[in-house]
Amino acid sequence: MPTPMDRTSFLVLHGWSNRRPDGHWQRWLADRLAEDDAQVLYPQLPEPDAPVLEDWLLDLRRYVAAMRGEEKVLICHSLAVLLWWQAATFAEPVHADRVLLVAPPAPSFVRQELVAAFVPDHMETEPLAPGLAASVRLVASDADPYCPGGAAALYADRYGLDADIVPGAGHFDVPAGYGDWSSVLAWCRDPSVRIVGREG
């Protein structure tokens, strides 16, 4: 049985160059979860246009420590997926009961950019611990420009992650039309829900 929402904490983490704009599904989701009486943390991470891994990791640990719910849920978009990967695979990992990874960028793509430090060393060759993988739901598009090669092969198949692949959803951002997104809200309320594309 799902944990009641008023006993659940959500930490919503944005990606590179994201200043939590109005109209983005993460802002919409944070508002809906707050209406459900959940604890919701949706921070602006420092220097989003030129993020520093150590600064984002410091903030991640700080916000996870502030989560007071019986169930702790992380919702990561884009570069925040790799941020979580770093923090979850350390010797002293950041813990969450459930993790939603949305639109992960391909490590090969990120290594060509200013955020190359976010790619964990040996990410492509080291498996996730089985208990860690079991807590994760991956949501990805089959047409994400930041994930050439496809997240199904790069993430779901390689790491054994439970995955929902949404046709034609791009990077699940505002240009792709992802403002309100009812199925991701439904998953937050009940982890057995399968996540599909936005309606309309």
- Domains defined along the chain, listed by start: 5-189 (3.40.50.1820)
Q: What is the pTM of this model?
A: 0.97
Confidence of residue 199 (pLDDT cuts 50, 70, 90): confident
- Closest C-alpha to 97, from 136, 58, 140, 42: 136
Q: Which two tokens stand for residue 133?
A: 């993988």
Q: pLDDT, tens digit, for every residue of 95-121? A: 999 999 999 999 999 999 999 999 999
